Structure 1
């Protein structure tokens, strides 16, 4: 089924390719060789950092790799170590923890961003794709002052959210549930239902501003 024109425009804007943007040269960055994700989480209260090995060259990590800021010019891609884990065309970064079971909750503080995506993706998802554009990733996005849920390029509008500074993500692997949570209420605003079949990583796309992640949290009471 074709995507409506307004949805297609939203898809292009929120998931735009950043490889064609101008870059500035900084000093070469020496990164360690390819490494495995930290561990595989099978319980609750997953705790993760952002994985620099996956981060696009326009994304800078800070605060001990729990935050990410978008730099339009970014690093010269030729000065960032090439490895199979890294996103080369899309401003995406993964968390460094794989999740293969359990119920988990984390929150994200949004600062000065009008275009971002939050969710999960299969750890082995193609690095040539953007999160939300294939069948291996499930995200909640914000663009053009509107929220949406997205997977495999299918966009579903999410209403009654506004622009909160902090939102939660609830993942139940066995139940096949990914929820966007109003962290202030708290309450689940929208859910994506899917049968997860492979280990997942927290996933983030960012095209301006910055995001700060808060993991290792207890799930708020009252969420179903």
Structure 2
């Protein structure tokens, strides 16, 4: 059964904590035409980079926009180009592909971070929200040396011994499935079930260290 998340522990504003993550009515962001296209990757080998236009001012991209690093102080928000695609309060960045069908797989190197979220979110999700706190995002997170699944501001513990250096994310749009994958077995560790009704983007939250994404991969054999 889902358990309400501890806001101050699991989802922080850059440089300060908040005391409540209750989800009220949020206005969806209105996005202009941009380089986030509906995926046409061959054989569902989704290829994406991180989209700097969406990145919070505390996040820097590196390695040709496939990696993201958290800066504790970050940039002065007034010095970052203002646009409706950028996350304003939360250390979140999107991938630059929209997904509206198919089965897709990608991996993330997580060994240099102790607090992060990985998953998907609706492309039009409000940029005032954090991934996992509303009905428009579905993520797996790691904090306090524990894994969890999160959506609608509720978490479910994920049983996983230790923390691997790299994990996989499996998305089946039509089946309404988002899976966290142990790439060494390989096997799906935990599954989030949902009804996806809008285009999704790969989504990442980061409050420590850095993450490196690996896309364009073939899904490992044996995953269900």
Q: TM-score, normalised by structure 2?
A: 0.88
1:12 alignment counterpart: 8
Say yes or no: does 1:39 pair with 2:37. yes
Distance in 1 between residues matched to 2:176 and 2:136, nearest whole Å: 13
- Quick check: 2:121–2:138 contact (8 Å CA) kept in 1? yes
Residue 140 of structure 1 aligns with which residue?
Answer: 140
Alignment partner, residue 31 of structure 1: none
Unaligned runs of 5+ in 2: 18-31
Instruction: Give the 5 Å matches for 1:177-188.
Output: 177-188=177-188
**Which aligned pairs between 1:121-160 and structure 2 lie closer than 5 A?**
121-160=121-160
Q: Structure 1 residue runs of 4+, over 6 Å off?
A: none
- Structure 1 residue 70: Cα displacement: 0.4
Could you report, residue by residue, the CA deviation over 1:149-189 in whole angstroms, capped at 9, with x for unpaired residues? Answer: 00011100000342011000000000000000001111000
* Kept after mapping to 2: 8 A contact 1:161/1:189: no
Q: Provide the secondary structure at the position in 1 that maps to 2:106.
A: strand
User: What SS class does the counterpart of residue 169 from structure 2 fall into?
Assistant: strand
Separation in 1, partners of 2:33, 2:62: 20
User: In structure 2, what is the equivalent of residue 206 of structure 1?
Assistant: 206
How many residues of Structure 1 are paired with residues of Structure 2 in the alignment?
208
Give the CA RMSD over aligned residues: 1.7
Once residues 35 and 133 of structure 2 are traced to their aligned partners in structure 1, the CA distance between those partners, rounded to angstroms, is 23
Structure 1 segment 5-154 matched on structure 2, within 5 A: 8-9=5-6, 11-18=7-14, 20=16, 36-42=34-40, 44-154=44-154
Distance 1:96 1:161, change over 3 A: farther
